[in-house]
Amino acid sequence: VNKSTVPVGTGDRVHSAIAAILATRGVTLTFDVVSNPEFLKEGSAVADSQRPDRIIIGTDSAHVEEQMRELYEPFNRNHEKIIVMDIRSAELTKYAANCMLATKISFMNEMANIAERLGADIEAVRKGIGSDPRIGYHFIYPGCGYGGSCFPKDVQALERTAAKVGYQTEILRAVETVNARQKSRLFEQIQHHFGSNLSGKTFALWGLSFKPNTDDMREASSRVLMEQLWQAGVTVQAF
């Protein structure tokens, strides 16, 4: 069983590798490879594990599906959460979910930048579009860009995977471009407020992780901001 984010086709490659090794040993053994991606969020992983929104099982075997349903029975009592599909679709579902969330973040950050220039209130806009049930309120908060171990890695990985099969991912590239630009937005606002000469000033930076309730600074926007402040001759007091 594979639960992490892996390139589409990994399950097939793992199956082939195991079969090849068994063949060299002269062993006849029936086995299956299952894709069972996790959808845990940092800061709430235990709760997400105990009460998953959905349970994706990638397999073509009825026997394996039966075993996986039995395994997940304690987590599937209130309502049907299990979705069964082929292995490659399960692998792509994990990427697609994270890339969709990253896209929503970059889209709202772009809307915030436009709203600022047009004299509109992005918070009012957020409430206005979030009230549409087709859009909803989840992941439409503008901010300083996404970080962490999943979104940046998965967006880039799906771009590379698509390129290998001859497809150019225009939207995913734009998501990355907007996100990288957004991480410099706060420094630009600091320069606009204090002037371009920041040398000798001291700034307090409160909040370093890429999201609340974690200690994870991987790809965090705070790291970009700190580097820019240091290059400008600023002393940073960070918490």
Residue 44, pLDDT score: 85
Exposed, middle or buried, 201 (CB in 10 Å: 0-12/13-18/19+)?
middle
Residue 198, pLDDT score: 95
Q: Which of 32-46, 124-138, 166-180 has the lowest mean pLDDT?
A: 32-46
Residue 177, pLDDT score: 97
Average pLDDT value for residue range 126-138: 96
Please name which of 23, 49, 47 lies closest in space to residue 36, comparing C-alpha atoms. Answer: 49
pTM (2 decimals)?
0.89
* pLDDT band, very low/low/confident/very high, at 2 (cuts 50, 70, 90): low
Could you list the active site residues? Answer: 150
Exposed, middle or buried, 145 (CB in 10 Å: 0-12/13-18/19+)?
buried
Q: What is the mean pLDDT of the chain?
A: 94
- Spatial separation of the C-alpha atoms in residues 171 and 179, rounded to whole Å: 12
Residue 40, pLDDT score: 84
pLDDT at residue 169 tops 60: yes
Residue 114, pLDDT score: 98
Q: What is the DSSP letter of 41?
A: -
